[in-house]
Structure 1
Amino acid sequence: MRLSLSTYEMELVRKQIGREPLESEWKVIDALWSEHCSYKSSKIFLRTFPTGGENVIMGIEDWQDAGAVDLGDGLALVLKVESHNHPSAIDPFNGAATGVGGIIRDIVSKGAKPIALLDMIRVGDLGSERNRWLLKGIISGIGFYGNSIGVPVVGGELSFDESYNDNPLVDVACAGIVKKDKIIPSVVKKSGLKLVLVGLTGIDGLGGASFASRKLSGEDEIGAVQIADPFAGKIIIDATLEVSDKVEAIKDLGGGGLAVAVTEMANGLGANIKLENVPLRVKEMTPEDIIVSETQERMLFAVEEGNVQSVCKSFEYYEYPCAVIGEITEDKIIRFTFEGKEIVSLPSELLLSPPLYMWGTSTERRGMKPRIAVEIGQAIRKVLTHPDMVSKEWAYSQFDYEVGISTVIKPGEADASLVKLPNGKFLALKGDANPELCLYNSYECGKAIFAEVYRNLATVGSIGVAAVDHLQFGDPRRPEVYQDFVNSVRGISEASKVLNVPIVGGKVSFYNENLRGEAIKPTPLIVMAGISEKFFRPKIDEDQYIVLLGITKDQLAGSLYHKLFGGEEETPNEILYEDLITSKFVTQLIREGKVEFVKDISKGGIIGSLWPIIVKGYSVSLNIDSIIGASRVESKLFSENGGRFILLTQNLEEIISRSRDNGIFSSQIGKVKGREKIGLSLNDKFLDLTEEVDKYYNFLEGMQ
């Protein structure tokens, strides 16, 4: 029996229940007390997040599967982010596919129809055959599941860093729509309700929650990975939405299987479960394995007795297993029995109250590199051909991003995706992380990634209304790792308050390390949703003026330039009010039709923001001296400090005047030129980038 429980925790259990738990009970406690399910090393700090707001219907509440905000017109948005990092490191296809299935069921469990998916993928150096195998499997798994069930993958990220060798990060977010008075809770408040399980239970995914709460060992742990079945997943979606008005609560069976789903749904009450009633995929499964199996495509419903037959009838129509396996009780004991024999009998309070930890921290500065001398033209070429800057069409072309005919801005077209809602408004979605910056200053990074996603939504005319976070780190018992975690939470919390975007849900993933025991770069990630009244599609054309909003600073640490060329550089200081003011100004310009193209300045600095124009076949003239703020040329071109946008417009004088009236520094820094040459003119010195554009489109073609 392999457990993630510490000796201290095991002794704590013995004292609380006054006896030695059975092996089956240890497995249940291990699942409930795992980092994956309990947040025992993070919950104290997560409580600092601002989770409320006038539009928040369901925020970060114990055991709720997703958050929800009011969109007006009687509609609510349900939003969630999850990951399947460890499973994808073992079996990338099924690991990624079941990650998609799990996040979709989280949305459906609120009674919401899933309308859009985002995938944020980070893998190691593509020079490694294993990393190429991982990436191919991850992309195939996401495409297989999403395409099969008809939920569009409308955007995401694909990033590369040797930090993710052995331990890729596979984040998936999902958005759904539901009538706001029809949202279903994940927990119950009264006893006597019948517990109805739909789907077959098998031997895949055994101990998955525990597996996700410890380091990768290199041993064969394939049995902890669930197997994807999107065709069964489609039945789950349709039938669950059909019966949602007949149930009191819905819980997706994810990490920890029945052990976690039953305990969390009971919400401090008790439950009696008869394991012989559980429909099985594999005959003669042991009772212990039935309890902790994480087989996918299953849901748990709490149902009034009079509605049980009606609920099961909807699933039986699809010949999908549906069975009453137990009921909610008053006695606050979680019991699992098998043919009359008691397998587990544990207090709800014990299972839902693991010890909470605050580990030691370290303020040691890390990551600074010696400077490599480089000429500006060479630096531009190196930055623009970095794998993070190349076309990701190879990946998103494998996803059906137009199913449902509601996707109006598709992957690769802008900084955020845009989906049309049933009420005629538009939902903007984006996910972002910046592990390079977090390595240098995780507090500033926490602020910066939240602000960047906020700016990304502004580039399509949208204001953020809700966010979810995923905090991904190494072993929290390492002082430098825990310091990064704590500081990133501080930064995210501060940005959420200043930008007035509540955090309605999230996830923490620790123990992300390679097989040599080295932690990944700290990778907190933010997914944000925004609402726009107007559809805006970016347009690039020659003779457009290039306007820079915001001040460029001599702050290069954590930038792509600094990653490549090093130096003792200053870390960007995110001034959140600059992001707030410039984003709202940009949104207003878009709504008035005053700009044709907007790009926030982030990875690659100003050069990176001009790159989408150049790869469309245009040349760009750039006057370096007109860039306000920074004193050094490399800072002017490559600094990634926040609060800035590139605009393409024909309304130059009006925008310059109005920006200054709004307290925003602005200047014309260049112009879009014709297609006779492809490249960049720096103070009239032309840099031909034809070869770099070819690499942009062809870098990943060998992955086919």
Structure 2
Amino acid sequence: MALSDSDRAVVVEELDRDPTAAEAALFENLWSEHCSYRSSRPLLGRFESDGEHVVVPPGDDAGVVALPEDEDTYLAMGIESHNHPSFVDPYDGAATGVGGIVRDILSMGAFPIALTDSLYFGDFEREHSRYLLDGVVEGISDYGNSIGVPTVAGSTTFHEDYEENPLVNVACVGMLSADRLITAEAQAAGNNLVLVGASTGRDGLGGASFASEDIAEDAETEDRSAVQVGNPYREKLLIETNEALIEEDLVESARDLGAAGLGGASSELVAKGGFGADIDLDDVPQREPNMTATEILLSESQERIVYEVTDEHVARVQELAERYDLEAAVIGEVTEDPNYTCTRDGEVAVDVPAEFVGEGAPLADLAVVEPEQPETDRPGVDLADAVETVLASPNTASKRWVYRQYDHEVQVRTAMRPGDDAALLALREARADRRSAERSSGDSRETATGLAISAGADPNWTDAAPYEGAFAAGLENATNIAAKGATPLAAVDCLNAGNPEKPEVYGEFAGIVDGLSDVCSDLSVPVVGGNVSLYNDSSTGPIPPTPTLTMVGTKPGFSAPPMSLSGEGTLVLVGDLALGGDAEVRLGGSELLAEGGSDRFPELPDDPATFIETLADVADHEDTLAVHDVSHGGLAVTLAEMIHDNAGADVTIDAADPVGALCHEQPGRAVIETTDPAAVEAAFDGVAPVVEIGEADDSGTLDLSVSEESVSYDAAAIADLRSVLEDELD
């Protein structure tokens, strides 16, 4: 760890002296890109974070929104990136990403009810990519399953530019009643700072600064000490302890110990309230001998939260922690003096203004080169080859190998499992008493609120067109939610990109920020929290700009149409702007062109909000039998995913460009199986194009005719084409 010369000069000017070794390390980590967002902060103001139901906007450990159906019930939402650690150690890197985001939810007073994982790896054909995938999935599975939080949604994507820099983006949703809410803002001078959880070691030392640098060729060996080591069983105990502390109203404020460890959490907690702190590092429980002040402050050892506690409640907090076999030590107090002071062995190691160390990082002034879409270069391919190419791609193949390793039914809230457009959870009660939730699992579907969750992005889209691709990613997540009859409520984002000091990379980053902020604004979906991960660059170059989004929506009850056909209705395609007659078909960003060729990105709809509102309404019609969004892999993949052994379809499409019609990936489309196609057409009149494309049946076969070309696949053949992950990884 080394404070840059320019930052050191700013620190020296403010302090009027040279920083101590501990201070220099603290500034280096808290002023890193990972903590301070010094490169991205000038752009993040473009996101709209206010809204009717927003309770806590960005800036805390997690955002909080109220349920429209029950304003006394809140959802806490957060998202975390653990990209560099997952390259060095895929198992621990991914596992501690789960642990960290869960603690962000705990520190708001919420009980974690769902996880999503959005994963991005290099070319699936490469052994190293499969090694990383296997380790990451195992880490997420072991941690999430052990702490009893279901992983219900996400995405797994492959692109050659992630080869030496995979992305692991994990989000968590928690539930709480309004009276349980706490924040990371210190409340009063004289209150105690109590560190609860595991003892502190040397693992994860300097993790924040490590996350803010390009990955070096020797990172897998040289940066291992920067990766945290998690213990999910201790995290489970911390969850139970946190529940007890919140239930007994023993906590004034709280902050998870994540990036920059104790130094980051405690300084930010007091600075946010306009206070300072006096901390005695000798009182921090340590599991390794002879730790220095710097090591104690910046260790990112897991399963720790710092709480602000009044004098009268300290003993009870310690009693509850001891019940769950956790450490609970008073390490300092909140002070009226706004300085952040830490001592070790009786000597002052840190004495700096709390606000300065947390908020004083100079903003970067970076050059921007705006990206341009490539010229059209579409290779010729016949219909059968095109369909089989997109069906057999690892990106559009079945992800069952991934999600079957996760316990997605723990807590008995999961009403729609992974593998559909969105997960659907039943929110029966606001309190965190899981036993009550289990006892009430027999409630009728009309008495609970349904929570739909969708997560992911598509690097092919944003690689081809950063702005349009990010806009499309936001719209696709909203379409997934609307396809289950839910109305989008709020979102959190994880904005991943390469080295921002490269003008082309920063231009791409600005593009995904603009695209995502515009679509969320158009949809009236506030972005209530997020994470920025830059410097995802290695010897092979930068990653594609990747704007991962986790979005939630709600509906009365928790019944929803599946994506699988019933075999009894008419198939209607809604929203396609490039079907029929001489309409232009654009394949830019499509899976079909992923192996070569280029094109412009598909046209975006003019009024996505009305489309989403209409789709959610139609999905809940009693005549609607199935709904599936059209996105990755295009219409060909959508139809194939709806087929199963007991239901098939006979589909006929009139298109001047058969391959383009089946494989373009314009967002904001869906296939609806209905017994009343006229009602669907009437609902979308003036909103989006509607085309009847065929009939469902009980054949278990997809018979597909486009102009004068046709293909046919039974359910077994489709499953075989889409089983590439299981074939290679089992």
Q: TM-score normalised to the size of structure 1?
A: 0.95
1:263 and 2:267 aligned? yes
Supply the distance in 2 between the matched residues of 1:489 and 1:587 (Cα, whole angstroms): 26
Alignment of 1:84-483 (within 5 A): 84-198=82-196, 199-219=198-218, 220-244=222-246, 245-267=249-271, 268-351=274-357, 352-365=359-372, 370-412=377-419, 414-423=420-429, 424-483=448-507
Q: State the match for 1:603 in structure 2.
A: 632
Query: What per-residue deviation string (whole Å, max 9, x for no partner) do you get for residues 649-673 of structure 1?
Result: 111222223332x543212012224
CA contact (8 A) 1:451 1:576 kept: no
| Secondary structure class of the residue paired with 2:228 | coil
Alignment of 1:475-624 (within 5 A): 475-516=499-540, 518-534=541-557, 535-538=559-562, 539-553=564-578, 554-567=585-598, 569-577=599-607, 579-614=608-643, 618-624=647-653
What is the CA-CA distance between 1:574 and the residue it aligns to?
2.2
Q: Which amino acid aligns with 1:230?
A: P
Supply the distance in 2 between the matched residues of 1:317 and 1:481 (Cα, whole angstroms): 51
Q: In terms of mean alpha carbon deviation, does 49-58 or 552-561 score higher?
A: 552-561
Supply the distance in 2 between the matched residues of 1:676 and 1:162 (Cα, whole angstroms): 35
1:644 and 2:650 aligned? no
What is the CA-CA distance between 1:238 and the residue it aligns to?
0.7
Supply the distance in 1 between the matched residues of 2:14 and 2:606 (Cα, whole angstroms): 47
Structure 2: which 5+ runs fail to align? 430-447, 579-584
What is the CA-CA distance between 1:15 and the residue it aligns to?
1.6
Q: In terms of mean alpha carbon deviation, does 33-42 or 600-609 score higher?
A: 600-609
Q: State the match for 1:694 in structure 2.
A: 720
Q: State the match for 2:434 in structure 1.
A: none
Supply the distance in 1 between the matched residues of 2:375 and 2:129 (Cα, whole angstroms): 26
Distance 1:639 1:552, change over 3 A: farther
Q: 2:678 aligns with which of 653, 658, 663?
A: 653
Structure 1: which 5+ runs fail to align? none
CA contact (8 A) 1:207 1:293 kept: yes
Supply the distance in 1 between the matched residues of 2:709 and 2:356 (Cα, whole angstroms): 70
CA contact (8 A) 2:74 2:176 kept: yes
Supply the distance in 2 between the matched residues of 1:319 and 1:653 (Cα, whole angstroms): 63
Q: TM-score normalised to the size of structure 2?
A: 0.92
CA contact (8 A) 1:99 1:172 kept: yes
Q: In terms of mean alpha carbon deviation, does 106-115 or 582-591 score higher?
A: 582-591
Supply the distance in 2 between the matched residues of 1:576 and 1:154 (Cα, whole angstroms): 31
Distance 1:41 1:308, change over 3 A: same
Distance 1:444 1:280, change over 3 A: same
Q: Which amino acid aligns with 1:206?
A: L
State, as a whole percentage, how many aligned pairs show the same letter: 36
Supply the distance in 1 between the matched residues of 2:309 and 2:673 (Cα, whole angstroms): 56
What is the CA-CA distance between 1:368 and the residue it aligns to?
5.3
1:22 and 2:20 aligned? yes
Supply the distance in 2 between the matched residues of 1:156 and 1:616 (Cα, whole angstroms): 26
Distance 1:491 1:401, change over 3 A: same
CA contact (8 A) 1:418 1:429 kept: yes
Q: Which amino acid aligns with 2:158?
A: F
Alignment of 1:623-638 (within 5 A): 623-625=652-654, 631-638=656-663
RMSD between aligned residues = 1.8
Supply the distance in 2 between the matched residues of 1:640 and 1:195 (Cα, whole angstroms): 52
Supply the distance in 2 between the matched residues of 1:275 and 1:93 (Cα, whole angstroms): 31
Q: In terms of mean alpha carbon deviation, does 244-253 or 637-646 score higher?
A: 637-646
Q: In terms of mean alpha carbon deviation, does 230-239 or 368-377 score higher?
A: 368-377
Distance 1:657 1:366, change over 3 A: closer
CA contact (8 A) 1:57 1:70 kept: yes
Query: What per-residue deviation string (whole Å, max 9, x for no partner) do you get for residues 436-477 of structure 1?
Result: 121222122222111111111001110111111110000001
| Secondary structure class of the residue paired with 1:236 | helix
Q: Which amino acid aligns with 1:474?
A: G
Q: 1:669 aligns with which of 673, 689, 693?
A: 693
CA contact (8 A) 1:433 1:524 kept: yes
Matched length: 691
Q: In terms of mean alpha carbon deviation, does 343-352 or 399-408 score higher?
A: 343-352
| Secondary structure class of the residue paired with 1:313 | helix
Q: Which amino acid aligns with 1:571?
A: F
What is the CA-CA distance between 1:24 and the residue it aligns to?
1.3
CA contact (8 A) 2:382 2:659 kept: no
Supply the distance in 1 between the matched residues of 2:300 and 2:668 (Cα, whole angstroms): 44
What is the CA-CA distance between 1:684 and the residue it aligns to?
7.5
Q: Which amino acid aligns with 2:266?
A: V
Query: What per-residue deviation string (whole Å, max 9, x for no partner) do you get for residues 335-359 of structure 1?
Result: 1101211111111232121101231
CA contact (8 A) 2:566 2:626 kept: no
Supply the distance in 2 between the matched residues of 1:107 and 1:622 (Cα, whole angstroms): 46
Q: Which amino acid aligns with 1:261?
A: A
| Secondary structure class of the residue paired with 1:327 | strand
| Secondary structure class of the residue paired with 2:171 | strand
Supply the distance in 2 between the matched residues of 1:308 and 1:664 (Cα, whole angstroms): 60
| Secondary structure class of the residue paired with 1:387 | coil
Supply the distance in 2 between the matched residues of 1:155 and 1:372 (Cα, whole angstroms): 34
Distance 1:610 1:295, change over 3 A: same
1:67 and 2:63 aligned? yes
CA contact (8 A) 2:89 2:224 kept: yes
Supply the distance in 2 between the matched residues of 1:168 and 1:623 (Cα, whole angstroms): 40
| Secondary structure class of the residue paired with 2:152 | strand
Distance 1:32 1:147, change over 3 A: same
Q: Which amino acid aligns with 1:525?
A: T
Query: What per-residue deviation string (whole Å, max 9, x for no partner) do you get for residues 543-602 of structure 1?
Result: 4211011233322211212323514x222232351x222221221122232211111121
Distance 1:270 1:115, change over 3 A: same
Supply the distance in 2 between the matched residues of 1:111 and 1:585 (Cα, whole angstroms): 35
CA contact (8 A) 1:549 1:582 kept: no
Distance 1:681 1:541, change over 3 A: farther
CA contact (8 A) 1:107 1:175 kept: yes
